[in-house]
Structure formats: structure tokens, C-alpha cells
Amino acid sequence: MKYYKEFVVSSEPFIPEIISSVLWQLEITGVSEEVNCIKVFAEGSSTLSSEDLSNELEKLVAQKVLLNYIVEENLVEDKNWNEEWEKSLNIIKVSDRIVIKPTFREYSKAAGEIVINIVPKMSFGTGEHQTTKLVIQLLEKYLEPGARLLDVGSGTGILSIVAVKLGAKSAVAVDNDEWCFENGNENCALNGVEEKIKIVLGEIKDIHENDFDLIAANIQKNILIRIAEEIKSKLNQKGIVILSGLLMNDEEDIVQVYKKFGFELVEKKQMDEWISLVMKT
């Protein structure tokens, strides 16, 4: 019988999407998000150890993203972990208009709805997380028809796809994960918007376009602080920024840093302990 290595990771605070994005850089085969932990899987023959995971998580502690964490290592019977993860994904009704549907689910579209089809492939942005829902709801409110969008930390490309479906002229979606690059292109083609969305493998510094009308960045506090000046440089004078990936206690730090670059807070939207901030110059 074949076995896999299972690593159970719990942390304070519990920020599964950030932890997952860090651990995907290791030689793992899957990630499963539970109620209060994530489970990371590797081949039974892999040399990956709990120490390797701890080395990556220590970086998040040093960045003050995590206060503490625990990693437990087990051997478990072989499964198709991506398939197991897919079973947990459902149709997400983000708002009265926006519905996110994994390709392996059936759904009958109602009048006036915009249905976004997603092949998740473990990329962040399946619509399950509160921050994705918050940003989409704010895009509905603030995106003007014909706008140009920059989507930083694009994951599945869901925000860019929603923006184009809402009337954006074009979008540039950038992520430094090769999975996201491939998955973003796949999802754009699936929704028939590939001609309006440019998927870039890299970081915001690799984007050559400027004068965006709206920038959405659903990442996490430390990165949003680090790229604040770059975000300002990519935005036009009347542009709007939607920031997320943030917890309630991140608000003050973000607002103070962005004020230094001429931004003011327009709106805060909250779902559970997560927030999204709308800012403009």
C-alpha cells in the first residue's frame, strides 16, 4: 500500500491562503484547508520534513504575519488530494449578480446573473475566501465601464475576469506563481475574455503599463505596504485602489502607509475578521 506524508499546520492568526502560497514553493502535491488548520501533502518517498515547512513559516513569523504555528507530520494512505480538494468547492453566489462556478459543478443561470467559470487548480481566488468576495463586491460598486484594471496577486484571475464581465475595457493580471499564470490564462479562455486580459508572470515592478483607472491587490499586509509606492505609480490621477487580504487589525498600518503616498480612505468593507479598503488620491 502506498502512503503519503501529511503535514498538519495550525497557526495564530490562521491565514490559510498566505500559508498555502508559501508552502506551495516546496515540493508538495496538494493542500487541503480545514476549519482551523491546513493539511499539506507530499509523496511518501519525499525528503520533505516538518523542519522544511517550519523554515518557511519562520519567515512569516519574522515578517510579523504569524505570531506562532505548529506543524505535525503523519503518514497517510494514498489519495488524489487535488480531487479531494475539488469536492469541497461549491458554487459561490458573491452578490445578486456575480456567481462563481467551478467547472465540475452544474448551475442554471438566472436572469441578470454573471456566471464566472473557474478551473481552480489550487490557485487562490476560487471565491470561497472572504477577501475575494469583498473585492468583487467593491468592483461592482466602483468599476466604471471602459476602465483599465491592474490585478496584483491575481491567483485564478477571477478579479480580472469579473472586471471585464462588469464592463472593464481591459485588465492586466500579475502573479509570481507559475500555477497562477497557467490557471489564469486557462480561466480567461474558459470565460471568453482572453483578448481583454493580459496575464503576467512576475510582480508589479514587471508591469510596463501605467495610468490604470483601478488597481485591485488582494495579497497581505506586508506586501501591500512594500508595494505602496509602485501602486501609486501605476494609478492615474483619479484612480481607485481596492486593497484586501487584510485582517481588521491591519487597517491602521495600511492607511498610515498609503497616506504617505497621498491616498485617503474612501470605504472599508468587512466580512468576518477580514476587511477590504477602498482608497484614492
Per residue in 140-168, pLDDT tens?
999 999 999 999 999 889 999 999 999 99
124 in any annotated domain: no
* CATH number, domain containing residue 70: 3.30.70
Tell me if 112 sits within 8 A of 97, measured CB to CB: yes
Instruction: Single out the residue in 69, 85, 101 at which a domain terminates.
Output: 85
Distance between CA atoms of 236 and 244, rounded to whole angstroms? 20
Same domain as 208, residue 147: yes
* CATH number, domain containing residue 219: 3.40.50.150
135 in any annotated domain: yes
167 in any annotated domain: yes
220 in any annotated domain: yes
Range from 117-126, 170-179, 223-232 that averages highest in pLDDT? 223-232
Q: Give the model's pLDDT for residue 149.
A: 98
Decide if pLDDT at 123 tops 80.
no
259 in any annotated domain: yes
In the chain, the number of structural domains is 2
- Tens-digit pLDDT profile for residues 189-246: 999 999 999 999 999 999 999 999 999 999 888 899 999 999 999 999 999 999 998 8
Strand order in the sheet with 264-271: 197-201, 170-175, 148-152, 212-218, 235-247, 274-280, 264-271
Same domain as 273, residue 199: yes
Q: What is the mean pLDDT of the chain?
A: 90
Decide if pLDDT at 256 tops 90.
yes
Distance between CA atoms of 202 and 34, rounded to whole angstroms? 29
Q: Give the model's pLDDT for residue 87.
A: 67
121 in any annotated domain: no
Same domain as 256, residue 142: yes
Q: Give the model's pLDDT for residue 33.
A: 77
Q: Give the model's pLDDT for residue 117.
A: 93
Same domain as 7, residue 63: yes
More confident residue, 140 or 90: 140
- Tens-digit pLDDT profile for residues 73-86: 998 876 665 666 66
- The bridge status of strand 148-152 relative to strand 170-175 is parallel
The model's confidence at residue 171, banded by pLDDT at 50, 70 and 90, is very high
Q: For residue 15, give its domain range.
A: 3-85
CA 270 to chain centre: 16
50 in any annotated domain: yes
209 in any annotated domain: yes
Chain position carrying cell 505596504: 225
